[in-house]
Amino acid sequence: MLRNLSLRSLRITRALTHCNYATNVPVTTALEGWPAKLKAAGIEDTEFNIKCIVSHVLNRKFNTVPDSLAQLNFNPTQLADFERFLEARCARMPLQHIIGEWDFMDITLKTAPTVFIPRPETEEFVRLVIENYKDAKHVNMLEVGCGSGAMSLSMLHTLPQVVSTAIERSKAATVLAAENAKLLGLEGRFSVHNHTMEEDKYMPEELKDQKYDLIISNPPYVKTDEFQYLHPEVVVYENLNALDGGSDGLRVARLVFELACCHLHPGGQLWLELGNEHPPLVKTIMNLKYEGRLKFLSSYYDQYKRERFVQIERV
């Protein structure tokens, strides 16, 4: 009886194995035609895009997938997902939204439709701020417009002495940032408030008396008339409230200057990531409008040698 049973299960296992081989498809076969389709859709670096999607479909870390993709197979479900994701990429959906998560510095963040995808230059910005605060004893920080939480959460991950409060106008981003904080175990030092900073209503009621040692922000800074030059990934899939900085790109930054006057301790600093034409303009605004309140300390360049980051002090 026992022998009959084990013979039967052996036959079933063999049948399943056979069925598996019959329906699995080598990744290299599944790929045929796709590089050309991606190129025709205007996607650059097709190899990187394909490898990201393959590693996501196979649920494997990117760096464990060989560049050649040799000896990898998709089962029927994976094959269907692979084709669906590549179709989405041809429609210029950002990889980050297809994959649902993205690495930022040393942390992995969940992404969500309409929530701003953190950019590589922002990693440089955060590294600069970390360098300046690594020896501080305690830092009570505010972030204006936290999106997915990338800047605050990577700072908290690196510097245990930082506590961060964020305000964010998008409900979806507010929920996502809180979720990312929880996933990273940082929720004890991070809180996010769904609030739209406006003239005369810079902070939510519950934070109106708070003062901070440091304010950071990567506000929307794209000039409205530059929208026509942006890629479809940005215009179609991102929330324009995360990008639109008005006619000179500084509409939201100007609100942050006012907020900083009221909510920074004397000697506290405001760090901003802006467009490459903005730092000299911000310096002029500080000298003309904020003398005795805010002082322009310095500006910094990104990896493409564009002047992008500014450091301001509350007098």
Q: Where does this chain bind ligand SAM (CB under 6 A)? A: 116, 118, 122, 144-148, 150-151, 167-170, 173, 196-197, 218-220, 241-242, 252
Residues 6+ positions from 146 with CB-CB distance below 8 Å: 152, 166, 167, 168, 173, 177, 192
Q: Which is nearer to ligand SAM, 69 or 146 (CB)?
A: 146
* Angle of CA points 119, 195, 131, to nearest 5°: 40
Q: Which is nearer to ligand SAM, 197 or 215 (CB)?
A: 197
Least gap, CB of 291 to ligand SAM (angstroms) = 25
Within 199-277, residue ranges assigned H as helices are 232-237, 251-263
Q: Which is nearer to ligand SAM, 26 or 100 (CB)?
A: 100
**By Cβ distance, which residue is nearest to ligand SAM?**
145
Residues 6+ positions from 173 with CB-CB distance below 8 Å: 112, 114, 115, 116, 146, 147, 148, 242
Least gap, CB of 29 to ligand SAM (angstroms) = 38
Least gap, CB of 220 to ligand SAM (angstroms) = 5
Partners of 114 in the β-ladder: 238
* Identity at 164, one-letter amino acid code: S
Least gap, CB of 145 to ligand SAM (angstroms) = 2
- Helix, strand or coil for residue 102? strand
Tokens of 141: 């920080």
- In this structure, are residues 114 and 174 in contact, taking their beta carbons and an 8 Å threshold? no
Least gap, CB of 6 to ligand SAM (angstroms) = 57
Least gap, CB of 203 to ligand SAM (angstroms) = 10
Long-range contacts of 130-134 (CB under 8 A, 24+ apart): 130/155, 130/158, 130/159, 132/269, 132/311, 133/159, 133/162, 133/214, 134/158, 134/159
Q: Which is nearer to ligand SAM, 213 or 238 (CB)?
A: 238
Q: Which is nearer to ligand SAM, 27 or 176 (CB)?
A: 176
Q: Which is nearer to ligand SAM, 57 or 256 (CB)?
A: 256
